[in-house]
Structure 1
Amino acid sequence: MKTSLKKTLLLILSTLGLATITMIALFQITTLNRHQAQGFVRYYPPHLFSPDTIIDVGYNSYYPAGYYRDTLYFGNTTDPSHMLGLALTTLDTIHNQLTLPNIPFSIGNARLYVLENQLFLTEGHTPLILSGTVKERTLYVMDTLSYFQQAKPYSSNHLMLKIYDGSQSRLARKQLQPSNIKTAPHLLTKQQDGLFDMDGQLHITPTTRQLVYVYRYRNTIVLSDTTFTHTQTYHTIDTITKVQMELVKLPNHQTKFAKPPLVVNKNSAVTDSILFVHSALKSNNEEHMSLTSLSVIDLYDLNNGHYLYSGYIPNHNRQSISYLYIVGQQLYALFGSDLVCYTIHLPQQPPL
């Protein structure tokens, strides 16, 4: 009996050890692929980004929420009722308390947005959309009907949503009053499961109100007007057209990654004319470099999808970029609790 139990324990420990070694090997292979050249070349004009100011915002839970009247606002992932304002002319910080209705919602999934003088707090799991003004800072319930993964307001009565319809993620236009939703069925394309493979970042350009969607695991950028009438699909300069991920179904019917997927686009930000993409991949002319100590930002022309040029941003305090935001000729990058401001020096002529 003891011999049998001992053999069983040895078998279990051996299996666990083999599984651990396999996962480590898979992770190393994925990391190696990510840091190898991917068959494209970047153009680097001198001093595209020059650092100006470093501001300690206090906590690593802040994220850019929007810009209004010379103030850059930040929401907080751990306290949705807190809004930080940074006066860009004086660099003074202002802590604002928002008044929210007494309704339970998922705090970690709530996101704050500032659109001109309007405030929106969105949370797609409950679901809940709140709205108010920057001046009054009291938010009221506007919608509790539409479930969503991401939301971006583009007028006082409209938001662009990323939803999941049971088969795949889709983009949709949400009208608050009267409540209405219109889905764009073919704007996003499914390659595997329709959920993980379609992960990405949804943007609305500041004044032209153009929809920009940047896929995370493939080199695809989708542009559209808010009516879904005029749409374009462009590509980042790398060669990853198909997602490189393996998914497994768990006994509880949930899905997870079998190994870390290949990330193509880590982060992004937009102006009316330029898309800034924090790329995760090396180009052929970067084989001598390590992307673990710096971030590469690629710039694209939103008028035609053309690649323009790239710039480096070194990691700050051993941390990589968590969020990007652009105001005029300034790029703001959050590294944990530190906000670093860079001046953008665009060349007079784009590359040929």
Structure 2
Amino acid sequence: MKTSLKQNTILAVCLLYALLFIYAATSKLLDFSNFRVQIAQSPLLSAYAGVIAPAVIGIEYGIVFLLWKPALRNLGLYMALGLMSAFTVYIYLILNYSDFIPCSCGGILEKMGWAEHLIFNIVFVLLALTALLLSRPPGRKQLPGTVLFPLLSILTGTILVVVLFLSSEHIIKHQNNFTRRFLQHPVLEDKTYALKFNSYYFAGSHEGTIYLGNYTAPNILTIIDSSFSLAQSRTIRLDIPRQPFRSPKIKVDYPYFFVYDGSVPAIFKGLLDTMEAKKTAMDTYFSQLEIITPDYFTFKTLSTREKTNILGTVALKEVPNVSLHYDLLEKQVNGIFDTDGLLLHDSGTDELIYGYFYRNEFLVMDRNLKLIRRLHTIDTVSRAQVKVSQLPDGTYKMGAPPLEVNKDMTVYNGVLLIHSNLMGKYESREIWDNASVVDIYATDEQRYLGSFFINDRGKNKMTQMLLTDRYFYALSGTELLRYRLRNAIGVFHRGKPKNQQSRQNN
């Protein structure tokens, strides 16, 4: 090839790279906040969004400067080759090994599909290789550096991306510093049922049928069939009808239902077929109750001796067998508000979960309340931020509104969903103003699996949620919403990629 043609080819490649990087870096810089958010949502680089976002822009501008200077042009080409190789490997990993496929490009490249983008990058890698081969000195065809240096550039870019990918995945899932990764539509709205009131709560579910209690009509159980086309309201009859209830609730554990109020205390048990319930021998005060079997419960209560919340179990016999566990809930401030949380029973694993409201921790226990593990949510509030003042009568009240970390929780088959109340790094205020954010955790180890959001229904936000084997349910205003799980719940649990489904949504 003639010298002039070689030089023109090299110059053309340099100009193409310069135009590409000027355009790409400038578009990222002009919308830097959004670019950093997109990097934070990458399934490969989330943990390093704060570093990678400005670094990529700086490197791209730096390469343009090197390519502009004839004496530094070869160095610029080596760096361009390494960076483009890194981008290429990144896309390959996204397409084949990621949990989902994000969108992280700006400008005209945003219009490309990921496969087209991969081809585009490969073409530019070949262009850089061509320019470097043409730039070798004449008469020195066996120069080792002619092949070695380009290979080192490609290898450096490849290793860098792989290392970032592996370390980022470990940090995000096991050592997260409050960087959320929003999954691509893990739940899809399926059906909606219009309720007459906004005072309903989830009482249970069975094979697609949903059971709702109503705070304003505590003796009515509303049953919505699996097709979401028919609802019936059934009246509960107690064998001792007049009870000094303060806030009775209903819980369904098919084929049984339970009516209880821990302030009395009282638990009534009956069969759904008859809707008639008899009072049990329960005589322990409690604030929360979870059904393990029809005759074995776990509960939360306030210890007058320790002046703190504690957990307990009760086996209903002629004389109830009550066991109290004082060492599970750890006191941080006064033991009442700082240990407050939600007790849940995972019917899929037969484990108990206790999630704190005001700190980033939840407990996993067996059915006898033996602690299995203490796990943490991804936010950084490890100590409950509550201010408590004591009244003259010895009771306590909140001295100021507390910082609520976790608003609501639901669990099924080793997957815990938490309705979060705190905004993470690089997140959009618009999302938080118009949706409820739900974080997903495994309960078998310290592992964050991702997040999703449920859009508000007009001015109404999600107030309660329920997870089953096939659906995610939410109550919002006067509506019951059903969302289909895009993947089986076991996939959330194991965190396996579902690339085909992901590609169809990108």
Is 1:43 matched with 2:184? no
Is 1:350 matched with 2:495? yes
- Cα deviation per residue 1:93-123 (whole Å; 9 max; x = unaligned)? 111111022232224x211111120111111
Identity over aligned pairs, percent? 26
Cα distance in 1, alignment partners of residues 444 and 377 from structure 2: 14
Out of 409, 417, 420, the residue aligned to residue 276 of structure 1 is 417
Aligned to 1:336: 477
Out of 99, 105, 108, the residue aligned to residue 244 of structure 2 is 105
Cα deviation for residue 246 of structure 1 reads 0.9
Aligned to 1:177: 317
Cα distance in 2, alignment partners of residues 251 and 351 from structure 1: 56
| Equivalent pair of 2:348/2:414 in contact (CA under 8 Å) | no
| Equivalent pair of 1:54/1:339 in contact (CA under 8 Å) | yes
Cα distance in 2, alignment partners of residues 154 and 147 from structure 1: 18
- Going from structure 1 to structure 2, the CA distance change for 1:250 and 1:137 (only over 3 Å counts) comes to same
Decide which structure has greater helix share: 2
Secondary structure, counterpart of 2:462 in structure 1: coil
Q: Which amino acid letter does the alignment assign opposite residue 81 of structure 1?
A: N
Aligned pairs for 1:71-110 within 5 A: 71-100=209-238, 101-107=240-246, 109-110=247-248
TM-score when normalising by structure 2: 0.59
Worse-matched range after superposition: 258-267 or 314-323:
314-323
Is 1:327 matched with 2:468? yes
Cα deviation for residue 342 of structure 1 reads 1.3
Out of 214, 220, 224, the residue aligned to residue 365 of structure 2 is 224
Aligned to 2:275: 137
Unaligned runs of 5+ in 1: 1-37
Decide which structure has greater strand share: 1
Is 1:68 matched with 2:206? yes
Aligned to 1:262: 403
Cα distance in 2, alignment partners of residues 85 and 273 from structure 1: 26
Cα deviation for residue 350 of structure 1 reads 2.4
Q: Which amino acid letter does the alignment assign opposite residue 227 of structure 1?
A: N
Cα deviation for residue 66 of structure 1 reads 0.7
| Equivalent pair of 2:352/2:365 in contact (CA under 8 Å) | yes
Aligned to 2:30: none
Aligned to 1:316: 457
Unaligned runs of 5+ in 2: 1-175, 498-506
Aligned residue-pair number: 314
Aligned to 1:155: 293
Cα distance in 1, alignment partners of residues 322 and 427 from structure 2: 45
Cα deviation for residue 168 of structure 1 reads 0.8
- Going from structure 1 to structure 2, the CA distance change for 1:315 and 1:144 (only over 3 Å counts) comes to same
Cα deviation for residue 39 of structure 1 reads 5.1
Cα distance in 2, alignment partners of residues 103 and 151 from structure 1: 21
| Equivalent pair of 1:308/1:351 in contact (CA under 8 Å) | no
Cα distance in 1, alignment partners of residues 411 and 369 from structure 2: 19
Cα deviation for residue 80 of structure 1 reads 1.7
- Cα deviation per residue 1:150-203 (whole Å; 9 max; x = unaligned)? 001110101111011111111101111141111122111111111111111111
Cα deviation for residue 68 of structure 1 reads 2.4
Aligned to 1:212: 353
